[in-house]
Structure 1
């Protein structure tokens, strides 16, 4: 039985805003989270991205605050990245259209002057990244004594990014008596620890098993030998007549993202593709996201800075050009498609050095990703010597991670070559090829003799 937003007892202003946004049925996380939040309980919600959790906490907050009152903040939402903070602010303003509530977003990358001026005019809801919130607070522009609700969104990402000290500082400056809401896509040990310090007798809501991808996303995997073959495969997929309405291509570094972007720029031009990574200025990043949202461009190349919180409902495909090293990021990447009950497709390119991470991801999501053979039309490039060496070294590191006693192919090869050189040198000098007669052993023996003297 479907649940509509009328069933929650929202006032007419909020219901009109929800109707304007085009929402009719509540998602599972909204059905489970809205009633306890409306009742003033602390809530911990575990839900994958794209399930509507922003509305799940934002609608009850707006209902609680109702209209502008005083000059000081009454609700604070903390998010890990600028992009997510901006996204939450947009949703908040959309739902609060008919209430007059004053909403301010605080994030770095831009000068704080304008943000401070907006707060000084009076504010009801602040959406902020941890660092910028503390900067503006310490500058004396935020008074927290009237704060009623504190939300930590994407708590697992905040822990991964090392924001625990800033979160603890925020908890020190807000009133002890308040409602706390924590939302996360995964339940790591750090999130568990944070929830124990942050929440009081919380209502636990988990709409899907932890770290499972949305059921509306079809996943597949191509095994490729090297980066050049990845580019050839990408070109092949983009040349297919299948309807890729909107595509996000994820890369693990900004250098890889730039390389893929330059390739696509030559192929499609600026009218079709944008790039988003941490090395871009804040205005450029916002413009890239807006161009992608507004259908001005079809393809967005991004690092994991865009993996969370970018709510573009009609992304049809996600391509993992590189396999993410942080396993949970896989769930967030593919969560950019298949949003709001729509179907999407997630395609991953995997080299031999990345197979280790695929096994870890499959264990995390508790399912196997379907492997598809490379199409015969895709030209398989020969792996260059340096890339082959890099892959072998990466595989050695992975094996050592699983087995600390593992010496590695490079270590064994080097040792064998050294022994051969020693044996040849000793043979030329007429000495036996004794293993104990190596330079290292000899130097140690001479040092010991000197000590005895």
Structure 2
């Protein structure tokens, strides 16, 4: 194996990596670092989980020097907030023994903290296109001296429609610069972008572009499953032998939250990352997952490229991806850093045409997914699930609907001096059957008025289920004492 010292990396960076147990370089790093250190523009292409971040991060940090001048000198553009956090953490590690400062710029968080770090002289900026252009437009972010520029996950930029923003960003950085572009796939528009904004780039493929979709260290399992049985199947897979951290991908944010609630009710330690969550919530869920406090992370595709955890054992596609590229990036969350992993995909009956396209593109050789239920014997053998496993942990608390608090009868509470009757006061306009009717001005109704069915409408009486006293009762209480009804 080639070490980072062999590649000409400065000793302080080598020491920072060694402190985290990172000593040997991956193939993409072996090929890109020696070229990027002198300033060669390059395109790095490799499957996910092979260390692309260090492949471009080490040259950027080393080329800035031990003690760079304050101000933005390097810019790394990423497509998603989650990836911005992950890249920031990696670069923060690389600069831990240097005076270089790194700042993450992305949406969903307050401007003030990010602006303060920029004003303090941060030299490396990791950001998403929208927030970068926003701050640059307000003249709070000066990119004119950025001589190191990196586009990470460029194909995702294309998918999210960021190419126009990328062009705006390139107009703001230094004209003479060192540019690196990294991506797992290389569609035509990305190649055109590289030709336009890069100077004689060298295209490096650490592996064949199609290799890694079905790489040997990931076991791919595809089931045709009924939507009503998926939760039970997933709950049993989570209890398989060797199951550790697991990422489950859903198509929509509502489906993600529903699955978080369902698995939590079944007793699993689960967190979520999706668009209905605030940025702080998403970061807390991700941090808990990385730290091992949460075993299961349910996510939409927004987080697919920001989950950089080496010890994920299983990836489960609750709903099939729309295409083979999305499948690649989902499955690539497991089997990282040379470890093994399992990718399980559920195909609904209505989505068989999508599976046909993915199967053909990835050459799985499985045109018909195996029809599978939670009781299917092959489910247990395929995934090493212990016999007799059910979809609810024995320690899971039983779900109970919270009951309204009742006052004790007898001498306690305001109803205690009325023959042990309970009293529940409703807010004005509230619905629901009251324990005791309340008369005008908040005074309790007389016992003679408290008849069975009071406060409801059964089609015969005058009382209404609207939380308000009936008009007849109000008129009756307003009559002077001793006046007959006929005289009212």
TM-score clears 0.5? yes
1:372 Cα offset (Å): 4.7
1:234 and 2:231 correspond? no
1:283 aligns to what SS in structure 2? helix
Cα distance in 2 for residues equivalent to 1:122 and 1:377: 60
Q: What are the superposed Cα offsets for residues 63-114 of structure 1, whole Å, 9 maximum, x if unpaired?
A: 1112232222111000000110010000001111101211111000012111
- Structure 1 residues 304 and 369: CA distance shift in structure 2, 3 A: farther
Contact 2:8 2:34 in 1 (8 A): no
- Structure 1 residues 61 and 239: CA distance shift in structure 2, 3 A: closer
1:327 and 2:324 correspond? yes
2:315 aligns to what SS in structure 1? strand
1:363 Cα offset (Å): 3.1
Q: TM-score, normalised by structure 1?
A: 0.79
- Structure 1 residues 117 and 376: CA distance shift in structure 2, 3 A: closer
| Equivalent residue number for residue 99 of structure 2 | 100
Contact 1:103 1:127 in 2 (8 A): yes
| Equivalent residue number for residue 253 of structure 1 | 252
1:374 and 2:372 correspond? yes
Q: Hey, which bits of structure 1, 4+ residues long, moved more than 4 A?
A: 369-373
Q: TM-score, normalised by structure 2?
A: 0.74
1:210 Cα offset (Å): 2.4
Matched ranges for 1:264-283 at <5 A: 264-268=263-267, 272-283=269-280
Q: What are the superposed Cα offsets for residues 217-253 of structure 1, whole Å, 9 maximum, x if unpaired?
A: 11111112x310222322332344x121111111011
Cα distance in 1 for residues equivalent to 2:294 and 2:42: 38
Cα distance in 1 for residues equivalent to 2:56 and 2:154: 14
1:87 and 2:81 correspond? no
Cα distance in 1 for residues equivalent to 2:19 and 2:6: 18
Cα distance in 1 for residues equivalent to 2:358 and 2:175: 39
Matched ranges for 1:87-236 at <5 A: 87-211=86-210, 212-213=212-213, 214-224=215-225, 226-236=226-236
Q: Greater Rg, structure 1 or structure 2?
A: 2
Cα distance in 1 for residues equivalent to 2:353 and 2:280: 37
Cα distance in 2 for residues equivalent to 1:375 and 1:143: 57
Cα distance in 2 for residues equivalent to 1:67 and 1:364: 47
Q: List runs of 5+ in structure 2 lacking aligned partners.
A: 378-488
Q: What are the superposed Cα offsets for residues 245-272 of structure 1, whole Å, 9 maximum, x if unpaired?
A: 1111110111111221121011015xx1
| Equivalent residue number for residue 448 of structure 1 | none
1:151 aligns to what SS in structure 2? strand
| Equivalent residue number for residue 459 of structure 2 | none
Contact 2:312 2:334 in 1 (8 A): yes
Contact 1:68 1:102 in 2 (8 A): no
Cα distance in 2 for residues equivalent to 1:164 and 1:155: 9
1:365 Cα offset (Å): 2.7
Structure with higher helix content: 1
Contact 1:182 1:195 in 2 (8 A): yes
| Equivalent residue number for residue 288 of structure 2 | 291
- Structure 1 residues 340 and 239: CA distance shift in structure 2, 3 A: closer
Cα distance in 2 for residues equivalent to 1:346 and 1:154: 22
1:342 Cα offset (Å): 0.7
Cα distance in 1 for residues equivalent to 2:45 and 2:145: 28
| Equivalent residue number for residue 25 of structure 1 | 24
